[in-house]
A and B are shown apart, each in its own frame.
Chain A
C-alpha cells in the first residue's frame, strides 16, 4: 500500500540536517537461517529524541535493538553512529548502553555496585567514580537503597537501578527494551513520565522498544511502526495516528473501521468515493493524486464519527442500528450495524447525563452516523 492520504503537518517531512542524525540505519537486514527477522530497514534517529520502535511480538524490533547494541551483526546494510560504521565493533566498545527488559541486575552486587559497574572501564579516580554513582542514585531517587541487593528492593526500584546503571557511563544512545513491561499498571504510568523527565535532564538519545501503543505514543517524539521485519511508517505520534499510510498502521494504532471502495470523482483535494458497504457515496479529502475508478480503502476512527437520533446536516451520513454497546462511564463504544450488515465502531463521550428523550442510545435503537470529509483516512490499494 502506498501513502496517498494527506501528508503530515507541514515541515515534519523535511529530512533533518546530517548533524542532527545520531544513528543512521541503512537498509539493514538480519536473517537467522532461513528466517528474516529484520528486512531492509532504514531509519534516522535524531540526537536527543525519544524514538519508539513499536510492533507486535516477532516484528523484529528487539532484533533491531540488539543490532544497535552489538549483540547481533546485520546480515546486510550498515549502522552508523555519529557517522562511524559500527560493523565489527563489539558491544563492550560501543558508547551505546541498554536497559534490559528483565533489567539484568547483577544479583550478587549491591545497588551501588550495580550502578558503578560500567564506570570501572572509565578513566576516573575513585572519588570521581563515587561522585558519579551518587549523582546517578540521586537522579533515580535511590540513595537510601545504595547498600541493598537487587532482591531486597521492589520491582519499580529495580527498574530505576537498571536505568541508572545504563546511564552512568553517559552513553550516546540508550536502548530500552520494553522498559515498563514488568511494572504494574499504576506504576507504569508514573514511571513513564519519570523516564521522559530523566531523558530531558540527561539529554541522552533514547530508543524505546515496546509493543504497547499507549506507551509508545506517550513516550516517543517519533515512532517507527514495524511489522514482519519491516518499518511500516515513521512519524510523530500524531502523524502515525491521524495520517497512517497503511492499513496495518491504521489498524495497529488505535481502532478503525475499514471500508473497501472506489473513487468516483476527483475535484481538487475533494474526492467522492463509492463505499458499497455503507450503501452511499462519501466525500473525503486526499492530497495525493487519485484518479477516478481507483480502488481505495477508507479507514474511520471511532471517535471521528458522531452519533445522533435524527439525520444530521453533515456531508457524510449513514443510518444503522445499535448492535452492541460498551458503557465505560465517561464514554461508550458502540458497534453499529448498517443496512448492508457492515459493523462500524463508534466512540462517544458521554458529555451529558441523558439524551433528549432521557437516554443516549440503546440496543436496537436506530441512529445516524456522520463524519467530516477530513475524518476519512483514504488508503490506496
Chain B
C-alpha cells in the first residue's frame, strides 16, 4: 500500500501513510473483504460455464478437425493426415444426408414452433383473464405434464398413434365416415412420420411457449385495452393494435425456447419419426454411436450450434433493447 501520489510529504494533513492505512483496512475485513466475496460469487457461474460448457465445446471443436482412426478413442491428429482435417466440413456441404437432415430439423422445428404459438397464445391470454385463484390452478395444469417422465409421455403418444389403438381407430372411423368409399383407410398412418414428430414436439414444448407468453401478457395494463375500446376499437382491433404488438418480446422468447431444443431434438424423432428422414440430433447420435465417426459427429454438432447462435443473438439483442427502453421510462 502506498500513499496516493498527490499527497506530498509537505502536507501531513492529506498524506496517507502506509502505517495509517493498514489498520483501517484490517478493521474492514482483513485480506478477504466484501469485494472478495462479490468476485467469488460472480465468478462461480462463469467457472461453471467454463468447465462444463466452454471446455467440452472446445474439445468438440478440436474433435471436428480430427481424423477418424480405428483406435480408442476413435480419432487422432497428425499422422498421414494434416492436423486440421477439413474433410468433415467438406462432407457437411456435399453429402446431402446432412443438408436434408438440417432442413428436416429446421422445418419440423419451425412448424412445431408456429403451432405452439397458435395453441399457446390463446391459452396464455386466457390465463391473464381469469380470476387469480383459477389462474394458479390453470398454471399448475400447464406444468403438470413435467411431473411425469418425458419418455413415458412419448411412449403414451406412440400407443395412441399406433395402428391398433382406440385413438387411431376413432380417427379412421371419422375419416371413413366423411370421405367416399374408395378413399377409405384401414388405419391412419401417423407413426414414423414428420407429422408424429411435430405433434409430439408441440405437446412436449407447449409449456415453454405458454409460460413466457403469459409472463409478457400478464404485465400488460388492462386499461390500455379499455382506452383503445373507448377510442372506437372493437375487441379484435384492440387485440391487433394493443395486445399483440406489446407481446412481441414474449412471442420471441417463447419461440426461441421451443425452436432451439426442437431443432436439436433426438428422442422424439428417434421414437416416433421417420428413419428415412432423420433430424439432425439423430444424425449426430448415429455418427457417434453406430458409425463411431466422432470427428464427423463433432462437425455436425458444431454446425448445429452455429446455426442456433444466430436466433439466440437476435433474441439477446432484442432483450437488451427492451431492457434499455424500460430503463428510459421514469
Contact = CB atoms under 8 A, between A and B. Distances in A.
Interface of A: 69-71, 90-93, 96-98, 100, 102, 104-108, 117-118, 121, 149, 151-152, 155, 165-166, 169
Interface in B311-330: 325, 328-330
Nearest to A69: B230
Interface stretch (B13-21, B31-39, B69-77, B218-226): B218-226
B223 A104 contact: yes
B233 interface: yes
**Chain B interface helix/strand/loop/mixed:** helix
Given A71-B226, A100-B226, A108-B246, A151 B330 contact: yes
Contacts of B241: 106, 117
5 contacts: A71-B226, A92-B234, A102-B221, A104-B224, A155-B330
Contacts, number: 62
Given A151-B329, A151-B330, A106 B232 contact: no
B223 A97 contact: no
A108 B328 contact: no
Given A151-B329, A152-B328, A91 B230 contact: yes
B221 A92 contact: no
Interface residues of B, number: 20
Contacts of B228: 106, 117
A97 B229 CA distance: 10
B250 to A, nearest CB: 13
Nearest to B246: A108
B158 interface: no
A167 to B, nearest CB: 11
Contacts of B245: 108
A117 B226 contact: no
Given A102-B223, A108-B245, 11 more contacts: A69-B230, A71-B226, A91-B229, A104-B224, A104-B227, A106-B224, A107-B224, A117-B228, A117-B233, A118-B231, A121-B232
A165 B242 CA distance: 15
B226 A104 contact: yes
A321 to B, nearest CB: 51
Interface of B: 221, 223-224, 226-234, 241-242, 245-246, 325, 328-330
Contact of A151 (B224, B229, B232, B325): B325
B329 A117 contact: no
Contacts of B328: 151-152
Contacts of A93: 232
Nearest to B225: A104
A93 B228 CA distance: 12
Which of B221, B231, B242 has most A Cβ within 10 Å?
B231
Nearest to A95: B232
B10 to A, nearest CB: 52
A12 to B, nearest CB: 33
A92 B233 contact: yes
A69 B223 CA distance: 13
